[in-house]
Amino acid sequence: MRSLVLAAAVVAVCGVGSLAQAPAPGAGRGGGQPVQPIQMIKPGLYLVPGGGSNSIVRVTPEGVILVDTKMPGEANYTALMQQIRTVTPLPVKTVIVTHHHADHTGNNDRFIAAGAEVIGHAVLASSLDSYQFDPKPAKPTTTYDGRERVVRLGGVEVRVLHLGRAHTGGDSVVYFPDVKVVATSDAVTTGSTGPLADYAGGGSFAGFAPVLDAMLKFDFDTAIPGAGPVLTKADVQAFRTKIGTVIDRASALVKAGVPASQLLMQLKTDDLGWAPRIPMVDAFVAELSAPRKN
């Protein structure tokens, strides 16, 4: 029975892996869940779900800091702006995009045209060069290299952090220290959706663990994933524990000589609630076979 379930998971992995490089055309043009009503998470910080991803709205006295721009399309952009206008008349001044996939960067061009600064990691920008999606998302107007960029607007400080490779090679985690909220992007997934390592986009499944370890060192009580419901810090810790379980079990299989073609089918995940999405298993095996850093 377990083999049948895991075999089905492998089929799902292959399909979802291609979506990481080129999301289904319908999803960017009205497919999937539409933009949902805005929700207050903390005073001055709001969540707009739907439209492909969670968008975070931080209202300041001088304008809005927005995290992620949803799937491309005038309908998503207009709906997102309508939700923002229900809590503030101020313009979106700064946009932070957390990785290059179109469900997070799809309306960069519209925010740039409206006068916003769009910030993303340098690897995010370079990843867009080879990203196969139509329309291709616009590159950030400002990039940062290394670990961190601090955004300040209207007395609010936001930390944009590249904690390492995980979902993609250009992931950013966004930390709002004044309200103790962290935006995890797709370094954390929810429900039955397993974490996806987009190796073609620079991702690393083995990288999820150190990224989450670094994230958990921050002082936060609320975490907003790239999609799905709001989480607690304990939820993030539980997710980190499951990541460690997957890596330990997969490492044991590799050490026992299980070939890459059989790895995901033999990997026990039925007690985790999700299966990892690893389209390039050979790359994962190479990571597991490399000497571990202390």
In a domain, 66, yes or no: yes
3 state DSSP class of 152: strand
Classify residue 177 as exposed, middle or buried by CB count within 10 Å of its CB (0-12, 13-18, 19+).
Answer: middle
Helical H runs in the chain? 2-21, 74-85, 102-105, 108-113, 122-130, 208-216, 233-255, 260-266, 281-289
For residue 23, what are the β-bridge partners?
Answer: none
Our measurement of the distance from residue 15's CA atom to the centroid of its chain's CA atoms, rounded to an integer in Å, reads 18
Residue 38 is predicted with a pLDDT of 98
Structural domain span for residue 47: 2-289
- The model's pLDDT over 177-197, given as tens digits with 9 standing for 90+, comes to 999 999 999 999 999 999 999
Q: Quick check: 16 pLDDT over 50?
A: no
Contact 82, 45 (CB under 8 A): no
pLDDT at residue 266 greater than cutoff 50: yes
Query: Looking at the domain assignment, is residue 255 inside a domain?
Result: yes
Q: Is residue 39 part of a domain?
A: yes
Q: Is 27 within 8 Å of 103 (Cβ atoms)?
A: yes
Give the CATH number, domain containing residue 109.
Answer: 3.60.15.10
Give domain status of residue 294, yes or no: no
Question: To which residue do tokens 């045209």 refer?
Answer: 113
For residue 34, being part of any structural domain is answered with yes
pLDDT grade for 291, boundaries at 50, 70 and 90: confident
Contact in structure between 212 and 243 (CB atoms under 8 Å):
yes
Structural domain count of the chain: 1
**pLDDT single digits (tens) 37-58:** 999 999 999 999 999 999 999 9
Longest CA–CA span in the chain (Å) reads 60
CA 124, distance to chain mean position in Å, is 12
Q: Is residue 264 part of a domain?
A: yes
**Is 195 domain-assigned?**
yes
Closest alpha carbon to 67 in 160, 156, 199:
160
Q: What is the pLDDT of residue 32?
A: 66
